[in-house]
Amino acid sequence: MRRRASTQLITKVNVTPIIDVALVLVIILLVTAPMMSVSDIPVQLPEARTREAEDERNVSVTIGTNGQLAVDDREVAPTALAAAVAERLAQPGNDGVLVVVRADTATPYSEVRRTLDVIRQSGAKRIAIATRQKGQVAP
């Protein structure tokens, strides 16, 4: 007696091709989504000034943890900050100079904000806040 080879019916769905197609679609979506979220309006983006600011001449305003203030290397009273910054900005060649605010991490934000307002009112056109890069050790 010969046995006939029995053919079994395929009753399970093979999901491997479906998963492959789904993953390809997800990858295409991840690649194209950032491009679609940008407007078509032509703009010229500004250049970043991070490390370049160290090389140019600037006015430094330092805020200590207990409210001490200094303009460059000269300590000033909080009430005299506007006059000291205005005096430095009035010197020849300091018209568009960068004013860098250096604040301790423990200084309250309200004090930093107040100092920024005073600097802006004293005539500063360019203001930056000094930070240190990740991994850089504090002096």
Give me the phi and psi of 61, to 5 degrees please.
Answer: -115, 120
The pLDDT of residue 94 is: 76
Contact (Cβ atoms closer than 8 angstroms) between residue 88 and residue 71: yes
* pLDDT tens profile 84-108: 888 888 888 777 788 888 887 778 8
Q: How far apart are CA 46 and CA 30, in angstroms?
A: 27
Rounded to the nearest angstrom, the gap between the alpha carbon of residue 22 and the centroid of all alpha carbons in its chain is 36
Domain ranges, ordered by start, for the chain? 52-129
What is the pTM assigned to this prediction? 0.56
Range 119-133 average pLDDT: 83
Mean pLDDT over each residue of the chain, to the nearest integer:
77
Confidence label for 134 from pLDDT (cuts 50, 70 and 90) = low
Which DSSP symbol is given to 7?
A: P
Range 57-85 average pLDDT: 84
Range 29-49 average pLDDT: 60
Whether pLDDT at 128 is above 60: yes
Q: What is the CATH number of domain 52-129?
A: 3.30.420.270
113, 124, 100, 93: CA torsion to nearest 10: -170
The pLDDT of residue 5 is: 63
The pLDDT of residue 41 is: 47
The pLDDT of residue 21 is: 95
